[in-house]
Structure 1
Amino acid sequence: MFEATQDVLIALWHQDFNALLAPESAILIYVLVTFFIALESSFLPAAPLPCDSVVVLVGTLSAVGVLNPVTAFSLLIIAAAVGSWLAYLQGRWLNKLPIVKGWLAKVPESNMRMVDNLLCRHGLVALFSARFIPCVRSLVPMVMGMRVQETPRFHYFSWLSATLWVGLLAGVGFLLPSLPEPISRFTTMALMAAPIITLCAAIFTFLTWRARHAIRGFKQAMKKN
């Protein structure tokens, strides 16, 4: 049992499609994939796990009959939503720590109000976008746990964004076997590169925002002088 689990785990990590085609591996794939997605969605140190490509792989395995698509897709959605909920609870817990309260107290009130407005008005977009960025996937629900006090609203954002994320990635994986080989290969490469591109775009956007904020503060200071 241990050796079989190890083999499936290594195959998932290396995206070895042929090694996962054995029907007897289905139960282990269900368990490990669910664990992967829940862990990576809830804890920041688990960001290196290749969850985006695993979701696509699950869609492909469902298309060729190794997995049941209804069972596989449902488990992925539950794992992603529950993982976000665990990250949200971490944010609620961190918000009670004196050291975290001290950090937040140093942030200007206008900035905190802006963060609150963005999370409340665009929570679904924030959570959905974050699911495509490994390092941010667990960070955004954690921040929402610190700032968003409406738990039912968070659950709505979490489950809907998880459904959209799984539906998109696993749906593409489900269609890959029916596509011509060149298109299938190109689509797979694009999906593998998407998290890196999204992360770079997020970092660039953040740096641009910080630069504009610094320039605006410098101009205001110059006017006062």
Structure 2
Amino acid sequence: MGELADFFFHIDDSLRQATLLYPVATYGLLFAVIYTETAFFPLAPFFPGDGLLFAVGVLCAGALLNPFVICLLLSIAAALGAWTGYRLGHTIGPRLFERFTWIDRKHYFRAHAFYRKFGATALFTSRFLPIVKALVPFIAGVAHMEPARFVRYNILSALLWVISLVTLGYFLGNIPFIRDHTSWLVIGLAAIFVTGLLITTVVKLVRGAGVKG
């Protein structure tokens, strides 16, 4: 756990060293991290995907990584990860209701109706929210969102997520302050996304309590 924390707080130095020592393997490592974070939501809290993409963009600005290869490779990783989560939800979902009879089936029908109407929006917005980005595809699978529709928006949202954050890191990476304080900026970026998620959750809980009251 300590090594993971050290990597997170020094993500720029860790990636820079890995790129210099093992340039080809670094591409594979980044692919594995993005895939795992988006495929398995219980593991998502341990992977700083958004901050990682920003840091990768900074390295691309320093010519340590190829930005075009990175954007293509990590977009594929993000799309495949979400597809894995979707298939897991599609396969495991029905079994959950059979095994755990206390789960209200109304939640299933509500989820099905929600993803039929707002599935595309959910996929796009969740990409920029830690943990949620891996949870939404799973729930979409549980709700049996149309596979063709999921694939279409999954690919588009993966491209948007990866390209936007890598590009942001690429252009800001030329600024000396940004380049020298990447780790703290990554932490700040993660904090902003988490704070946004918490605020959204609290607002929904308060509104829900108000409706019940």
TM range (shorter): 0.7 to 0.9
Q: Is the 8 A contact 2:57 2:173 kept in 1?
A: no
Residue aligning to 2:61: 63
State the alpha-carbon separation in 2 of the partners of residues 64 and 142 from structure 1.
36
State the alpha-carbon separation in 1 of the partners of residues 107 and 78 from structure 2.
33
Residue aligning to 2:49: 51
CA RMSD of aligned residues (A): 2.8
Superposition pairs of residues 69-218 of structure 1, within 5 angstroms: 69-97=67-95, 98-99=98-99, 103-105=103-105, 107=106, 112-113=109-110, 115-179=111-175, 181=177, 190-215=188-213
- SS in structure 2 at match of 1:158: helix
State the alpha-carbon separation in 2 of the partners of residues 14 and 108 from structure 1.
39
Q: Is the 8 A contact 2:11 2:52 kept in 1?
A: no
- SS in structure 2 at match of 1:44: coil
TM-score by length of 1: 0.78
Between stretches 119-128 and 55-64, larger displacement belongs to 119-128
Q: Which has the larger radius of gyration?
A: 1
State the alpha-carbon separation in 2 of the partners of residues 99 and 144 from structure 1.
20
Between stretches 129-138 and 146-155, larger displacement belongs to 129-138
State the alpha-carbon separation in 2 of the partners of residues 69 and 132 from structure 1.
20
Q: Is the 8 A contact 1:132 1:198 kept in 2?
A: no
Higher relative contact order at CA 8 Å, sep ≥6: structure 1 or structure 2?
Answer: 2
Residue aligning to 1:222: none
Q: Is the 8 A contact 1:11 1:20 kept in 2?
A: no
- SS in structure 2 at match of 1:122: helix
**Cα distance, 1:144 vs structure 2:** 0.6
Structure 1 residues 100, 173: CA separation in 2 closer, same or farther (over 3 Å shift)? farther
**Cα distance, 1:207 vs structure 2:** 0.8
State the alpha-carbon separation in 1 of the partners of residues 145 and 115 from structure 2.
11
State the alpha-carbon separation in 2 of the partners of residues 12 and 34 from structure 1.
17
Asked if residue 27 in structure 1 is aligned to residue 24 in structure 2, the reply is yes
Q: Is the 8 A contact 1:61 1:67 kept in 2?
A: yes
Structure 1 residues 163, 74: CA separation in 2 closer, same or farther (over 3 Å shift)? same
Structure 2 residue identity aligned to 1:15: H
- The superposition leaves residues 36-75 of structure 1 with CA deviations (integer Å, 9 ceiling, x where unpaired) of 1111101122122111111111111111111111111111
Residue aligning to 1:221: none
Structure 1 residues 183, 174: CA separation in 2 closer, same or farther (over 3 Å shift)? closer
Unaligned residue ranges in structure 1 (runs of 5+)? 1-6, 216-225
**Cα distance, 1:12 vs structure 2:** 5.0
Unaligned residue ranges in structure 2 (runs of 5+)? none
**Cα distance, 1:176 vs structure 2:** 1.5
**Cα distance, 1:183 vs structure 2:** 10
Asked if residue 42 in structure 1 is aligned to residue 46 in structure 2, the reply is no
Give the total of aligned pairs.
Answer: 204
Structure 2 residue identity aligned to 1:103: I
Structure 1 residues 85, 10: CA separation in 2 closer, same or farther (over 3 Å shift)? same
State the alpha-carbon separation in 2 of the partners of residues 144 and 18 from structure 1.
37
